[in-house]
Structure 1
């Protein structure tokens, strides 16, 4: 993509309207292909953005750093021995299923819940000290690993599990092994009590997201193993309820572990509510980043698809 194409793409974003006829509330558009990088800050923005569920991809990478550095932790590590002493289980019928939950089920939303949990609205009036009990006492209707349901519950549990396994604050660990090595500073990650929110509420710059995207594009860059990146991309389930089949390339065709999968050209991406995108286009050696605060994302995602088609 050359500068003229990028400028034309920016013009499309700036002239676009959502279903209510309002301009898109974009923050940033960043595209890097090979060594060529283009960045546009809409409205001259300088602030970081809440990357919402792109935080899940950060959490999966942190998990990979622990798996890489320790022999006693992997994706099949059971989580209930860690969570049980920290929680009060009143729904006794959950116990057997909780005993079979592994780290991999937290990463791919297959704990077994039928109800979406921890998505801001359902916890708006709840004390964060009660979040863990709320999750473990919500009905688990399916055998772990057999039923996909996207929510924030698994990644909040993962935040707890990783911190307890490490024996140190997870944010401090993340700063040491992931953020600082990638040149990410000045970020904010909201806490739910003594644990980072995990699935959400992490504020980063577009260049911070680009650094993460290059880890995904280039096989882990020594932060995690190339095998772990492939594990994050491993198919979990089709996601027709949120798919965008009218987009030829950028579509939520299926889910892996913290990453969405297109069915074309090996494209995969992190995705967050209100227009957060971290798309990896391996055959073009490219990373596409958007941040926004845009509720209706249909046109925004059409333009991300357009961006990918313009990569040469």
Structure 2
């Protein structure tokens, strides 16, 4: 293992006072460098969880449970009549995947997490106005990903966590991980998954290898190619922390990077898995960095990319 590869990264972490916990570098299918700033353990991955939900959708589509262009309303029989406008009728699985629901705000922002049982993200989702034509406007929308988790439950008759355990985690030799649920008992989908950095890096390798792992095609390669390419523009996404890496477009619960032909899984507080096909490499970060999350991602461009 060539941990000298990480010398500049380690120095940069210390100089910037970034709270990175673990870094794993894979190339050509193997871990070539690894550094633990703190002991490795399963951690909450926040929105990195979204990409796992997306891959469950890709598998479910390949197994015939539903199609990418199916309309969301067809999975739910109890939508409030006041919500049923033409835009809602147009909304598809594709639109949920690329966060192009047409809603101007994320409905989860209105959730009362202190009330354990009496609210449902589905209800919040359908009550949130759709003001843009679906598929045309990117809004970072946790509820969209939750709806995908819910649709997995409805169509496969098992929850997202169990479905992924059967379809992916067992094959990657990862014991069934914890996945936090919403009050109705459905895995959040948009967050809630716990893995170690090394386990997470295996999943990144699976994506880089287009869903192929130890002789088995776990995820359809064509779906990963779609997921890891621009499905919607993100030029108007401008939170305070936005950089060039937030304006390269969004796929199916996957971000495109400013570095050409690369993409990433991206979670709060500096959880990143960066796939670099041109380098045949995967860089995984697990962090707890509340102030400079993008600084963690930029370690890749500033300290690693030219050494791979």
TM-score under structure 2 length normalisation? 0.89
Are 1:167 and 2:166 an aligned pair? no
| Number of aligned residue pairs | 296
Q: Is the 8 A contact 1:49 1:292 kept in 2?
A: no
Are 1:9 and 2:9 an aligned pair? yes
- In structure 2, the partner of 1:81 is 74
Classify the secondary structure of the residue corresponding to 1:257: coil
* Distance (Å, rounded) in 2 between the aligned partners of 1:238 and 1:58: 21
Q: Residue 227 of structure 2 is aligned with which of 224, 232, 250?
A: 232
- Identify unmatched segments of 5+ residues in structure 1: 18-22
- In structure 2, the partner of 1:124 is 113
Q: Residue 301 of structure 1 is aligned with which of 289, 294, 297?
A: 297
Deviation at 1:234, TM superposition (A): 2.8
* Distance (Å, rounded) in 2 between the aligned partners of 1:41 and 1:140: 44
Deviation at 1:48, TM superposition (A): 1.0
Are 1:32 and 2:26 an aligned pair? yes
Deviation at 1:27, TM superposition (A): 1.6
Are 1:63 and 2:57 an aligned pair? yes
* Distance (Å, rounded) in 1 between the aligned partners of 2:247 and 2:23: 20
Q: What are the residue-to-residue correspondences of 1:152-301 with 2, within 5 Å? A: 152-192=142-182, 193-221=184-212, 222-235=217-230, 236-239=232-235, 241=238, 243-245=242-244, 252-296=247-291, 297-301=293-297
Classify the secondary structure of the residue corresponding to 1:295: coil
Deviates more, 1:172-181 or 1:232-241: 232-241
* Distance (Å, rounded) in 2 between the aligned partners of 1:168 and 1:272: 25
Q: Is the 8 A contact 2:170 2:176 kept in 1?
A: no
* Distance (Å, rounded) in 1 between the aligned partners of 2:84 and 2:132: 10
Q: Is the 8 A contact 1:59 1:198 kept in 2?
A: yes
* Distance (Å, rounded) in 1 between the aligned partners of 2:174 and 2:31: 20
Q: Is the 8 A contact 1:233 1:257 kept in 2?
A: yes
- Structure 1: 4+ residue segments shifted above 6 A: none
Coordinate RMSD, CA, aligned: 2.1
Classify the secondary structure of the residue corresponding to 1:304: helix
* Distance (Å, rounded) in 2 between the aligned partners of 1:203 and 1:29: 16
